[in-house]
Amino acid sequence: MGRHRNDPRGIAQMVAIGGVIVLFITLVILGGFFLYKSLPSGSDAAAVPEGAAGTTADAQAEEMQTGTLYIRAVGESSEVVVTVPGGDVLADTTLRTDEYLSFTEERTLSVTIGRPSEVEVYVHGERRDVAGEDPGYSFAVQP
């Protein structure tokens, strides 16, 4: 007959398995948290393709003329960050061809454009030529 002995490695294996389970749960929770934080917020700015339902050339023209800031991608793509200095991030996105951002804000906006040659910019309805600026060009828009 065989002899059975109390194996001390069994307890260590149980502790190791418990540690792996705790690590897995922690990684799942952190992954969900960072995924949630990376989703766009519910601000009044949105990247919208030109051909989207409800968006017409007339509506775009009106936004260019009446809005505080209007940025439209005319090239392949450009990163655009719009913030309130010392405050909220209103947009942090990559605009692709014919997508645009539009803001009607009563406060100063700080704008950074990754590839200025790829976008058209309108400030208070007037076109601002940024095509010749260096990548990462920044400027402020007063209300």
pLDDT of 36 reads 83
Element (H, E) at 24: helix 9-38
pLDDT band at 85 (very low <50, low <70, confident <90, very high): confident
Residue-level pLDDT at 43: 47
Calculate the average pLDDT of the chain.
81
Using the predicted structure, report yes or no on whether residue 89 has a pLDDT greater than 80: yes
Could you tell me what percent of the chain has a pLDDT over 70?
75
Query: Whole-model pTM?
Result: 0.57
90 contacts 42 by C-beta, under 8 angstroms: no
Q: How many CB atoms lie within 10 A of CB 38?
A: 8
pLDDT greater than 50 at residue 50: no
Bridge partner residues of 108 (DSSP): none
Q: Which of 134, 89, 101, 93 is nearest to 116 (CA)?
A: 134
Element (H, E) at 58: helix 57-66
